[in-house]
A and B are shown apart, each in its own frame.
Chain A
Amino acid sequence: MLLVFAAASGCRRAEPRARRVPPPSATVTIVPRTPSIATYSCMERCHARLAPNPTRRELVGFHTDKRLAHGTTLTWCTFCHQVDNLDRLRLIDGSQVSFDDGHRVCSQCHAERYRDWTRGIHGVTTGSWRDVGERRSCLACHNPHDPHRTQFNALPPPSRERGREQEQHHD
């Protein structure tokens, strides 16, 4: 009896934390992230041939465009990337998830945003409101290394609005 209980609790501990938040409803599919990563798969391309090096250092030669400016705790790659298998992301409890499940890494800190995302309040859902819609993962819009909002140019106002403004100035 005791053994069964221990086994059960052991199972529960092995379960990743993010699972406790219900996954998005069945009426959406989450758009896979890996096809849009230019350098995927990281292992096949390079890292299988490189020895894992967890030490903090200045990156030279490669990944020099990555500026890490995400909070005060995320100060090194291995916080989110699995050091010995760079095709996988790492959760705080040590379990590994695919890049397609990157939202589960985010959910560890941004629990409220994640809850909103599972309900469709936050984030982009396109395709269909009735059948199966397509929902973008966090990483489709947010750069996890430097998540600060950037500005971009608005499309020009329609000529009609410009005319209206001139009218107002004439008044």
Chain B
Amino acid sequence: MTEDHQNHDEREAVVEGVGKAQASRRRFLQVLGAATATAATSQADAAPWEDFFQQHYKRLTDDEKRQIFARLEAQVQDKYGVAVRISDPKPIDGVEFAYALNLQACVGCRRCEYACAQENNTSRSPELHYIRVLQMDKGSLDVERSNTTYEGAVPTAEHYYQPVQCHQCRDAPCVRACPVNATWAEPDGIVVVDYNWCIGCRYCEAACPYFARRFNYEEPTVRPSEINPDQGYLSNRLRPRGVMEKCTYCLHRTRKGLMPACLEACPTGSRKFGNLLDPNSEVRQVIETKRVYILHEDAGTNPRFYYYFG
């Protein structure tokens, strides 16, 4: 046996050992958890244990997912008294989602922001919006000098408007920054977060050149009457405090063939969404025939979000 092989075998033995140790530790804690759960009177008391020991989304079997979704639905029922349905639509083969936004048509009315908040159950207080509309000076592309707090009548003669949300980058800095793999790009290009795996370190927020990630500093508050009951596990289900969240192109809608909520709300038709791999899709038509502008192209993130003129 060569030295290399020996090393390799040793390494494997070590890895196996670590795995066994972890497995036994996990079993121990699980037994402990189960014992506590049995001691506790209601099922709701057992939930924190199950929350704590829940595996990473990618390691879950379909059976485990069903159990987890049922538990999360029960938690929402307990806390808000609202019956929600948590689904997990899968990426569609041959589909890569992309967004195009017409800078000449957008009037900056912020209808998309509020439709997004409503659809995605984002916190109303503190107010958390995935989309940020920048009021830009005409003739300038300098986002640093943009205004995000404009009010009143729009559009003004001196400004144009540039809504910014998650760009679902092909080379996403947030994914690379995450120390625990709680965020990743799905096969259809959507960058998602496993809210139960996220440790809330906010490295991804710092890494994002579009300031597109949002952190729940406080317990998110949504009125029970305003909760959207159609929820996706990786998208708009109710988040706990201390986790990151972001735009997911409304994957619980778009993977079923629907348009994202922001697009449906836009009164100007400046938002275009579709399958980048379909040559007849609206986004492909935009990219092929219009002048397309990529925000922070120099950041090298290769986003799936395109601004265009006309």
List A residues at the B interface (Cβ < 8 Å): 25, 27, 116, 119-131, 133, 136, 141, 149, 151-162, 164-165
In the complex, are the beta carbons of B126 and A159 less than 8 A apart? Answer: yes
Q: A127-B258, A128-B259, A131-B257 are in contact. Are A154 and B110 (CB under 8 A)?
A: yes
A156 to B153, CA, bound (A): 11
Chain A residues near B132: list those with CB within 8 A.
161
From residue 223 to 270 of chain B, which have CB atoms closer than 8 A to chain A? 254, 257-259, 263-264, 266-269
Q: How far is the CB of B1 from chain A (nearest CB, A)?
A: 56
Chain B residues near A121: list those with CB within 8 A.
102, 272, 282, 285-286, 289-290, 308, 310
**Interface 9-mer from B55-63, B144-152, B192-200:** B144-152
Interface of B is mostly: loop
Q: A116-B310, A136-B269 are in contact. Are A153 and B152 (CB under 8 A)?
A: yes
Q: Which of B102, B110, B258, B273 contacts A155 (CB 8 A)?
A: B110
Q: A131-B257, A161-B132 are in contact. Are A123 and B273 (CB under 8 A)?
A: no
In the complex, are the beta carbons of A129 and B259 less than 8 A apart? Answer: yes
Q: How far is the CB of B84 from chain A (nearest CB, A)?
A: 24
From residue 98 to 140 of chain B, which have CB atoms closer than 8 A to chain A? 102, 105, 107-111, 113-114, 125-129, 132
Q: Does B275 contact A (CB under 8 A)?
A: yes
List B residues at the A interface (Cβ < 8 Å): 102, 105, 107-111, 113-114, 125-129, 132, 148-156, 254, 257-259, 263-264, 266-269, 272-275, 280-282, 285-286, 289-290, 308, 310
Interface of A is mostly: loop
A149 to B156, CA, bound (A): 11
A153 to B263, CA, bound (A): 19
Q: How far is the CB of A125 from chain B (nearest CB, A)?
A: 6
Q: How far is the CB of B244 from chain A (nearest CB, A)?
A: 15
Q: A124-B266, A129-B257 are in contact. Are A154 and B310 (CB under 8 A)?
A: no
Chain B residues near A126: list those with CB within 8 A.
259, 263-264
Q: Which of B128, B129, B150, B280 contacts A27 (CB 8 A)?
A: B280
Chain B residues near A164: list those with CB within 8 A.
148-149
In the complex, are the beta carbons of B280 and A155 less than 8 A apart? Answer: no
A121 to B280, CA, bound (A): 11
Q: How far is the CB of A96 from chain B (nearest CB, A)?
A: 28
Chain B residues near A27: list those with CB within 8 A.
280
A-B contact pairs, 22 of them (CB 8 A): A27-B280, A120-B272, A120-B282, A121-B272, A121-B290, A122-B102, A122-B310, A124-B267, A128-B259, A129-B258, A149-B155, A151-B154, A151-B155, A152-B153, A152-B154, A153-B154, A155-B110, A159-B127, A160-B126, A161-B148, A164-B149, A165-B148
Chain A residues near B257: list those with CB within 8 A.
128-131
Q: A129-B257, A129-B273 are in contact. Are A154 and B152 (CB under 8 A)?
A: yes
**Residue among A141, A149, A155 having the largest count of chain B Cβ atoms under 10 Å:** A155
Chain B residues near A141: list those with CB within 8 A.
267-269
CB closest residue in chain A, given B129: A158
Chain B residues near A125: list those with CB within 8 A.
259, 269, 272, 282
A125 to B272, CA, bound (A): 8
